[in-house]
Amino acid sequence: MPSPDHDDVHYYDPANGHGLAHDPFKAIVGPRPIGWVSSCDREGRVNLAPYSYFNAFHDKPPIIAFGSSDWKDSVANIEATGEFATSLATRPLAEAMNRTSAPVAHGIDEFELAGLTPAPCRQIRPPRVAGSPAALECKLLQIVRQHDLQGRALDAWMVVGQVVGVHIARAFIRDGLFDTAAARPIMRGGYMADYFEATPETLFRMRRPTA
């Protein structure tokens, strides 16, 4: 396919502004999976918050990471205790997940705030979301502060963890496989209220070439 003409492409340098109604960056890098992160502070008080800068980065061992735009309670708790859990955010849990994003004071239990039931993990202290089809128990590998091209430190942090335990609701295991589409995970879109849902109708398969 030929490259589009310059007149057909909107180009911008992020340092100089995007020239559109809203910044399109998050809409281009999307939809993004949501890391619904639960953690505890040193006193055992629970925090639950969603992060859309989230993904898996390795599988043997399984490694995940999420990014925080500032030093939030989740990051502080994980630095202090070295552990956290992530629960799969799904369409039935979407409204509750959204309530856990509220900027409440430290020490407020978002499980209680959102009407969610905490379920115990096996290797870590923070609970997982009981109604979620899948959850990952994680132990901290590193917290990385982000820097820009000029070397300036940003109030942006990447938390990297190794998965040490996996919980899957048996109802979503079909023929030995986790049925992702049946779980109906939701993903973050680009603007203030945009989300996407994975469903069986949107699933398609494409094998990787062997040569």
| pLDDT in the model for residue 190 | 87
Residue 15 reports pLDDT greater than 90: yes
Nearest to 162 by CA among 71, 58, 53, 47: 58
What's the chain's average pLDDT?
95
| pLDDT in the model for residue 1 | 46
210: alpha, beta or left, given left = phi > 0 and alpha = psi -120 to 50? alpha
Residue 169 reports pLDDT greater than 90: yes
Q: Dihedral (C-alpha) 39, 62, 56, 126: value to the nearest 10 degrees?
A: -10
How far is CA 196 from each of CA 73, 84, 94, 120, 183, rounded to the nearest angstrom? 27, 25, 11, 29, 13
How far is CA 58 from each of CA 177, 195, 207, rounded to the nearest angstrom? 19, 25, 20
What is the three-class DSSP state of 13?
coil
Query: Are 46 and 6 in contact, with CB atoms under 8 Å apart?
Result: no
Q: In whole angstroms, what is the distance from residue 97 CA to residue 49 CA?
A: 8
Nearest to 199 by CA among 92, 109, 116: 92
Q: In whole angstroms, what is the distance from residue 24 CA to residue 5 CA?
A: 20
What is the mean predicted confidence (pLDDT) over 81-109? 95
Instruction: HSE, CB side, 13 Å, CA atoms: give it for residue 55.
Output: 8
Nearest to 154 by CA among 94, 82, 68: 68
| pLDDT in the model for residue 211 | 83
Query: Are 89 and 184 in contact, with CB atoms under 8 Å apart?
Result: no
Confidence of residue 116 (pLDDT cuts 50, 70, 90): very high
What is the three-class DSSP state of 44?
coil
Q: pLDDT tens digits, residue range 182-197? A: 999 999 998 889 999 9
Q: pLDDT tens digits, residue range 128-145? A: 999 999 999 999 999 999
Q: pLDDT tens digits, residue range 37-59? A: 999 999 999 999 999 999 999 99
| pLDDT in the model for residue 106 | 87
Residue 165 reports pLDDT greater than 90: yes
